[in-house]
Every structure is written in structure tokens, then in C-alpha cells.
Amino acid sequence: MTPIRLYEMILGGAVALLAAYLLLRRKPKGPDEVERERRAWLDRVGRITDGTVIDVQEMQPEGRKPATFLIFQYDVAGVSYEASQDVTYLRQLINLHSCRLGLPTSVRYDPQNPGNSIVVSERWMGLRQ
């Protein structure tokens, strides 16, 4: 086998490996996909406790789409938590105008990290209306 033929085979194999890597690699997840997966995970493994809606705020960060946040408070094992959830993509499931100060709600939280919590997901609704 001649050296030129050997180099052609090595180069061809390297190009084939690079092409396979570029086609089969995982694409990085966007923030919306990460949030959807977090909601689904909490929907499966989260525990439920009572909480209270504090506020609903609409914000428009610079250069981004407007976002709607549901702010709520709850207690776990004697510790009080205050959290917010981006409900921008869940607006069709909830009536934001009925979410008023003091509205009782159920909160689903991670037992290992109680600060990780949700009030609404695609399959579960904690708001009591």
C-alpha cells in the first residue's frame, strides 16, 4: 500500500467520523425545554403542600418576550418559602385575573430541595378557584 493511499483512507475515515458526530450529537436544550422537563419531573415525584398566591406579575426583560410570573408562598417542615413560576406558556390553563392576593393553592415541591416547586403544570393544577 502506498503512503498516499494510506493518507487518503485516514483522511476519509476522519471525515466520516466528523460527519457522524455532527449529525448524531445532542442539541443543547433551550430554557423553555429545561423548564418543561422540570415541571414534568416535579409532576411525577413532587410532594404536595398548602400555599398561598402572593402576586401575578408581567415582566418584559430587555430584548425578550414578555413573561408572566406567578408568585407564591408555602411552608415545608417549619421553613417558609417564597417562589415564583413562569406561567407564560401555561396561560391557557389558568385564569390569571382570578389569581389574587391570598388565593389558596396547592404547591408541588421536590422533597430533596423544597425550594424547587410549581403551582401549575401541563397535567396538574394547584390553584383553587
Q: Is 12 domain-assigned?
A: no
Q: Is 106 domain-assigned?
A: yes
Q: CA nearest 84: which of 59, 112, 47?
A: 59
What's the pLDDT tens digit per position in 95-109?
Answer: 766 667 788 899 999
Question: Does the pLDDT at position 76 exceed 90?
Answer: yes
Q: Is 2 domain-assigned?
A: no
Q: Give CA–CA dist 54/40, Å, rounded.
A: 24
Q: What is the pLDDT of residue 1?
A: 64
Q: Is 6 domain-assigned?
A: no
Q: Give CA–CA dist 71/82, Å, rounded.
A: 7
Q: Is 72 domain-assigned?
A: yes
Mean pLDDT on 25-53:
88
Q: Count structural domains, the chain.
A: 1
Beta bridge mates, 97: none
* Domain that includes residue 40, residue range: 31-118
Q: How confident is the model at residue 48 (pLDDT cuts 50, 70, 90)?
A: very high
Distance of CA 74 to the CA centre of its chain: 20
Q: Is 111 domain-assigned?
A: yes
Q: Is 35 exposed, middle or buried (0-12, 13-18, 19+ CB in 10 A)?
A: middle
Mean pLDDT on 12-18:
88
CATH of the domain at 56: 2.40.50
Q: What is the pLDDT of residue 26?
A: 78
Q: Is 36 domain-assigned?
A: yes
* 98 backbone dihedrals φ, ψ, rounded to 5°: -90, -5
Q: Give CA–CA dist 6/26, Å, rounded.
A: 32
Q: What is the pLDDT of residue 35?
A: 85
Q: Is 1 domain-assigned?
A: no
The pTM of this model reads 0.72
